């Protein structure tokens, strides 16, 4: 049973390009979180999704960032017109449900570098 899979592991983009980060949850998991982490800093919540539904996007910047989790396929975090400040590690975690007792497991992360 594969764990949470993220790809690519490393992504380099020039300023102004688009970055697409993918997250395939563990088998049987229907909920996905996305977090951003800068070096030597904590995990910053971005968005919480269920298949075909955004539960909470309070941590997403209003512009350039979007996320989806379609009925089929991985969850996608999309960053348009990237800037140097978007350089960070982006982690996704999946869980089987919502609320009490639901443990979340992380993927290996995508390290985004904007040059």
Partner 1 sequence: QKEVEQNSGPLSVPEGAIASLNCTYSDRGSQSFFWYRQYSGKSPELIMSIYSNGDKEDGRFTAQLNKASQYVSLLIRDSQPSDSATYLCAAILTGGGNKLTFGTGTQLKVEL
Residues near partner 1 (CB under 8 A): 33, 35, 41-43, 45, 48, 55-56, 58, 91, 93, 95, 98-109
**Which residues have CB under 8 Å from 28's CB, separation 6+?**
96
**Which residues have CB under 8 Å from 49's CB, separation 6+?**
31, 32, 33, 34, 55, 67, 68, 69, 75
**Pick 17 or 105: Cβ nearer partner 1:** 105
Contact in structure between 88 and 38 (CB atoms under 8 Å): yes
Q: Least distance in Å: CB of 109 to partner 1? A: 5
**Pick 28 or 72: Cβ nearer partner 1:** 28
Q: Least distance in Å: CB of 48 to partner 1? A: 5
């Amino acid at each position: 049973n594969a764990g949470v899979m993220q790809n690519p592991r490393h992504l380099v983009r020039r300023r102004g390009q688009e970055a697409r980060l993918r997250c395939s949850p563990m088998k049987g998991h229907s909920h996905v979180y996305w977090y951003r982490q800068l070096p030597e800093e904590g995990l910053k919540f971005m968005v919480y999704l269920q298949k075909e539904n955004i539960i909470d996007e309070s941590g997403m910047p209003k512009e350039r960032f979007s996320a989806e989790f379609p009925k089929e396929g991985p969850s996608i975090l999309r960053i348009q017109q990237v800037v140097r400040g978007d350089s960070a590690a982006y982690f996704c975690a999946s869980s089987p449900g919502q609320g009490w007792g639901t443990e979340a497991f992380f993927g290996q992360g995508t390290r985004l570098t904007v040059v």
